[in-house]
Amino acid sequence: NGLAASYEVGGARDPALATEAQFHCDRALALDSNDPAVLIWAANALNMITRPPKGLELAKRAVELAPTNPIAHLYLARHYLYLGQPEEAMACLNEHERVAPLFPWQYYIAFNKAFAHFMAGRLDQATCEIDKAALLNPGYPYTWIAKTILATMTGQQEEALDAIARLRQLEGADSLDLQLARIAHSYPEGPARAALQGMIADAWRRLPAT
């Protein structure tokens, strides 16, 4: 999972990381493909390194074997998001909250709920959840990417610039290419990807250099 996460957070620009992560997933599944923990983490790694994600059946099986494991529901939700199924993702996130109301990664749940609402066109609800995610963990860069996009789409230009400023503070004034690569990895090629990248690039260029 660490290798896969490094690949995803790095904007999917180092294929060697994905290859090594795939090797370890294959090895773990060969050793025990009925262990829910193996299924959960292999599914999540595959979700981060493959497009479209290839771990959906593993994630579903993990939930079947361990229905009270909150991580299983969370990572199944992540698969549904990347497959363009926001309502299925939201159902998984709701089940996650039911089985683990005190789950420590509350910012991550809020972020994924924002993602689901955004995909379903519920921008007000998406904004509410992304604001919650930013408050709970201001050090998570994807939150500021999402907040920039949502603020731009709802005409809140000052909020968009503030979000870009926070992103620059976290990752540097020269990290625009990284942010665009992250969006490219998260969205299928096409008009939606280009539009989202354009929003980030435009806000980035409008923010005065410091």
Of 9, 11, 3, nearest to 184 (Cα)?
A: 11
Shared domain check, 205 and 112 = yes
Among 60, 75, 103, where does a domain finish? 103
Q: Which whole-number Å values give the CA distances from 69 to 23, 39, 129, in the listed order?
A: 25, 12, 23
Number of domains comprising the chain: 2
Shared domain check, 198 and 98 = no
Q: What is the largest CA-CA distance in the chain?
A: 54
Percentage of residues in the chain with pLDDT exceeding 90?
94
Among 64, 83, 103, where does a domain finish? 103
Shared domain check, 115 and 90 = no
Shared domain check, 197 and 180 = yes
Q: At what angle do helices 157-171 and 141-153 cross, to 10 degrees?
A: 160
Shared domain check, 120 and 85 = no
At residue 87, does pLDDT exceed 70?
yes
Q: How confident is the model over 29-85, as pLDDT tens digits?
A: 999 999 999 999 999 999 999 988 899 999 999 999 999 999 999 999 999 999 999
Shared domain check, 160 and 85 = no
Shared domain check, 135 and 61 = no
Q: Residue 21: which CATH number? A: 1.25.40.10
The three-state DSSP-derived secondary structure of the chain is CHHHHHHHHCCCCCHHHHHHHHHHHHHHHHHCCCCHHHHHHHHHHHHHHCCCCCCHHHHHHHHHHCCCCHHHHHHHHHHHHHCCCHHHHHHHHHHHHHHCCCCCCHHHHHHHHHHHHHHCCCHHHHHHHHHHHHHHCCCCHHHHHHHHHHHHHCCCHHHHHHHHHHHHHHHCCCCHHHHHHHHHHHCCCCHHHHHHHHHHHHHHHHCCCC
Shared domain check, 97 and 119 = no
Shared domain check, 99 and 112 = no
pLDDT value at residue 210:
67
The pTM (predicted TM-score) of the whole model is 0.95
Shared domain check, 66 and 122 = no
Among 41, 68, 103, where does a domain finish? 103
Shared domain check, 185 and 110 = yes
Determine whether 15 is exposed, middle or buried from the number of CB atoms within 10 Å of its CB (0-12, 13-18, 19+): exposed
**Domain ranges, residue 170:** 105-210
Shared domain check, 111 and 66 = no
